[in-house]
Amino acid sequence: MSIINTIYGNTEEGKEFLKGLQNREEAVHEEITQKVQVILKDIKENGDKALISYTNKFDSKNVNVKNILVTKEEIEKAYESVEKEFIDAINLAVENIKFFHEKQKRNSWMITKDKEVVLGQQVRPLEKVGVYVPGGTAAYPSSVLMNTIPAKVAGVRNITMVTPPLKDGSINPNILVAADIAGVDKIYKIGGAQAIAAMAFGTETVERVDKIVGPGNIYVAMAKKSVYGNVDIDMIAGPSEILVIADESANAKYIAADLMSQAEHDKLASSILITTSKELAKKVKEQLKIQVEKLSRKDIVLYSLKNYGAIILTDNMEQAIEISNNIAPEHLELCIKDPFLTLGDIKNAGSIFLGHFSPEPLGDYIAGPNHVLPTSGTARFFSPLSVDDFVKKSSFIRYSKEALLDVGDKIVKLAETEGLTAHANSIKVRMED
Amino acid sequence: MSIINTIYGNTEEGKEFLKGLQNREEAVHEEITQKVQVILKDIKENGDKALISYTNKFDSKNVNVKNILVTKEEIEKAYESVEKEFIDAINLAVENIKFFHEKQKRNSWMITKDKEVVLGQQVRPLEKVGVYVPGGTAAYPSSVLMNTIPAKVAGVRNITMVTPPLKDGSINPNILVAADIAGVDKIYKIGGAQAIAAMAFGTETVERVDKIVGPGNIYVAMAKKSVYGNVDIDMIAGPSEILVIADESANAKYIAADLMSQAEHDKLASSILITTSKELAKKVKEQLKIQVEKLSRKDIVLYSLKNYGAIILTDNMEQAIEISNNIAPEHLELCIKDPFLTLGDIKNAGSIFLGHFSPEPLGDYIAGPNHVLPTSGTARFFSPLSVDDFVKKSSFIRYSKEALLDVGDKIVKLAETEGLTAHANSIKVRMED
């Protein structure tokens, strides 16, 4: 049995595979939908009381209203229990993430026109942001940095983090240290749909926020979608993917390693190599077999490679790029000779990794661009998390009397065409004077 | 009985009123939710057949698969039946909207770092956008312009518009002309949840889009929220509002007219004046009574003024601004002496109108900034529709071998801390070589 399937891009089989990729969604049972709705309503109505009750039930019996907020002492203790090398690595990551996101900042602007007309756009940071951080095995300090730093760079002054406590009521120290270095203001020991509800509606203890970001399980994802409109949320995340486009210049060992770095995330993760080289395809398969033996998550890797992974052979590069654009991958590696020259042809991708020494984990941790990326083909319309996600804009308009009189008739005409006579009246009273 | 209530800002009554404002949402009955889900599923599974069937049922029996797409001839005929003055006004609006939105365009960018590191962000227009335009009495040509032009300016090459046909199978000619001038590529005679589903999933005739924008009734709004994630959508719109902050320099006649221009939209619309001047408050009340008699939508105006309108008296300007920031109004008029100096204090507002000759309808139709604005307090986190809403971004990363080796240990440390050994392996295979 093969570790990964090989498919020819321009065949029916190829098309079937690509279609299947889009249906990787986790099945949402009616039961889950209802449970989430009950939790949201309960928190909205009963605040802290409900919040503590769910936390005691699902996460830890040691959390109560008095210790739900992580203390300075807990953070200091966390620093003592993490490795110095970890802190060094986090510090480098923070520096690079800040550097990149600083370039995304935008100014307010204004323009003047004749007759004392001024138009403009004011850009302001959101006031309060909530960051959800999963607990347990998916407790990723890198995710704390990627969700928090763009908000800090945008100028958000009030960042609340929530994360489910361990059974003993504590929080993973790596998470606490990362949050502290990134500049989180408050950390609450809560998780699940109840934590999302607390941040969306507010409770006696937890302040309502303007936007909720961060990944979570199906309960968290559904709760976020439900409260969307009460607060803003980041994108809706689905199963993730890596797509590698490679030519004969590529290194099979590297590509195999990169495919598996995505495959280990999740049974639904998809790792795809598209290449014109049969020779490379063969070598990558060999390397997958060799390297998978070293991996702690071997079972997940094998499952996702087998079910959602593929090596797709194409006749030429154009075909490879077309398939990639249709998939709209979260991560795209261009392991080809002149990757910069291909950048312009890439229509849909979350993050693009150029050349043989820019593997996906470089972007996950250290390079600086955000690792929160549009998944499951949503790179067609969603973008990487950025400073833009933590600001709001207001437009402004200033007309003089003279300038208004110049266009008054036209406004009245449009308003009356639309049957909105009070709109027309607002202009007319000014024209009469 | 008073036409509008007067409230003192710093009283319990004031706080109660403000709280009530946030609960203006239209009640969504379980029944509607289920109907929308059935329609979405039906269109997804049965495509055109279901689409035509719903259109025949809800809108017009004269629409079939062959005439669902508006023809060139229909558009030419529309031009013949609209007034020249309407076309002139539309042309001026288009010119001004384009001018303003051009300033929002952003370039792709890249930065280089030592050791041949290149990082950047690519900005690209969405490929396909769908614009929903309501039919019947809410058929607003201005809304066609405001939803379409930012997409055109962003560079979107494929803009589909949908709008429910009249009973005879035709479309309002004003809408057709506005769509044609704005540069819509295709217009389909479909509406409701079925039109949203057609654009989100695609049918044999209607191509799937990447993003759906535009206002609609409760069925349309719920359908949009449901397909969010399959496609992107614009903001979730609720009942809208105007808030006027005025000092003794303001003109009561103008303010009364402006309050009613918002009040005529909808029974749930909210029109609020906040002022430090009792004298002005009194005069505005008188003007409301006089001017309302001239308005075609008098009943709606009176209803919304009575239920969701108010004149709020405050002790000083700081208090007025604080209340406004808490309401986060869709439209904010600063009818005060030096409005530019107050701009910096305005934290939350969709669009800000400065001075005595910048009434809201100026922004609705002609000035240039978008009239699609965050409603119901969502200006806390949502922004006016803009060119940003019609682009997607990709980040890109290029490291050299040397640069990667420099940071390799740190990436491995972070990956291993997170238990992701395949991530670490992707770096290690490159460090070994």
Tens of pLDDT, residue by residue over B305-332, are: 999 999 999 999 999 999 999 999 999 9
Lowest mean pLDDT among A364-368, A417-421, B19-23: B19-23
CB A417 within 8 A of CB B86: yes
Task: Give the model's confidence band at B27: pLDDT under 50 very low, under 70 low, under 90 confident, else very high.
Answer: low
- CA dist., res. A262 & res. A310, Å (int): 13
Q: What's the pLDDT at A262? A: 95
Taking 90 as the threshold, does the pLDDT of residue B15 lie above it?
Answer: no
Interval B133-184: pLDDT, tens: 998 766 899 999 999 999 999 999 999 999 999 999 999 999 999 999 999 9
Partner B contacted by A362 (CB < 8 A): yes
Find the DSSP H helices in B59-83: 72-81
DSSP conformation class of A231: B
- Which residues in chain B are contacts of A111 at CB distance < 8 A? 100, 103
Tokens of A39: 């939790």
Partner A contacted by B231 (CB < 8 A): yes
Q: What's the pLDDT at A424? A: 97
Task: Give the model's confidence band at A333: pLDDT under 50 very low, under 70 low, under 90 confident, else very high.
Answer: very high
CB contact under 8 A, B229 and A236: yes
Q: Which domains occur in chain A, in start order?
A: 6-25+238-367 (3.40.50.1980), 30-233 (3.40.50.1980), 399-432 (no CATH)
Taking 80 as the threshold, does the pLDDT of residue B269 lie above it?
Answer: yes
Taking 80 as the threshold, does the pLDDT of residue A22 lie above it?
Answer: no
Partner B contacted by A107 (CB < 8 A): no
Residue recorded with tokens 């031009």? B79
CB A235 within 8 A of CB A204: no
- CA dist., res. B237 & res. B214, Å (int): 9
Taking 70 as the threshold, does the pLDDT of residue B1 lie above it?
Answer: no
CB A423 within 8 A of CB B264: yes
Average pLDDT for A255-266: 96
Q: Residues 151 to 180 of B: which have CB under 8 A from any A CB? A: 174
Annotated catalytic residue within A101, A264, A331, A371: A331
Q: What's the pLDDT at A238? A: 79
- CA dist., res. A279 & res. A272, Å (int): 16
Q: What's the pLDDT at B26? A: 61
A330 included as an active-site residue? yes
CA A175, A181, A183, A187: dihedral to nearest 10 degrees? 30
- CA dist., res. B10 & res. B270, Å (int): 20
Taking 80 as the threshold, does the pLDDT of residue A237 lie above it?
Answer: no
Task: Give the model's confidence band at A136: pLDDT under 50 very low, under 70 low, under 90 confident, else very high.
Answer: confident
For chain A, the straight-line distance linking the first and the last C-alpha, in angstroms and rounded, comes to: 86
Interval B333-388: pLDDT, tens: 999 999 999 999 999 999 999 999 999 999 999 999 999 999 999 999 999 999 99
Interval B102-122: pLDDT, tens: 999 999 999 999 999 999 999
Enumerate residues 6+ apart whose C-beta is below 8 A from B208. B128, B199, B200, B201, B202, B231
- Which residues in chain B are contacts of A352 at CB distance < 8 A? 122, 394-397
In chain A, whose CA is at the least distance from the CA of B410?
A89
The percentage of residues in chain A with a pLDDT greater than 90, rounded to a whole number, is 87
**Residues of B identified as active-site:** 330-331
- CA dist., res. B133 & res. B194, Å (int): 13
Partner B contacted by A297 (CB < 8 A): yes
Q: What's the pLDDT at A178? A: 98
Q: What's the pLDDT at A26? A: 61
Residue B398 Cα, gap to closest chain A Cα (Å): 5
Q: What's the pLDDT at A313? A: 95
Interval A40-82: pLDDT, tens: 999 999 999 999 999 999 999 999 999 999 999 999 999 999 9
Task: Give the model's confidence band at A269: pLDDT under 50 very low, under 70 low, under 90 confident, else very high.
Answer: very high
Q: What's the pLDDT at A27? A: 64
* DSSP SS3 for B216: coil
Partner A contacted by B293 (CB < 8 A): no
Identity at A327, one-letter amino acid code:
I
Residues found in chain A: 433
Enumerate residues 6+ apart whose C-beta is below 8 A from A208. A128, A199, A200, A201, A202, A231
- CA dist., res. B193 & res. B56, Å (int): 14
Q: Residues 114 to 143 of B: which have CB under 8 A from any A CB? A: 118-119, 121-122, 124, 126-127, 137, 139-142
Partner B contacted by A388 (CB < 8 A): yes
Q: What's the pLDDT at B405? A: 97
Taking 70 as the threshold, does the pLDDT of residue A1 lie above it?
Answer: no
- Which residues in chain A are contacts of B413 at CB distance < 8 A? 83, 85-86, 88-89
The overall longest dimension of chain A from CA atoms, in Å, is 86
In chain A, whose CA is at the least distance from the CA of B136?
A418
Q: What is the mean pLDDT of chain A?
A: 95
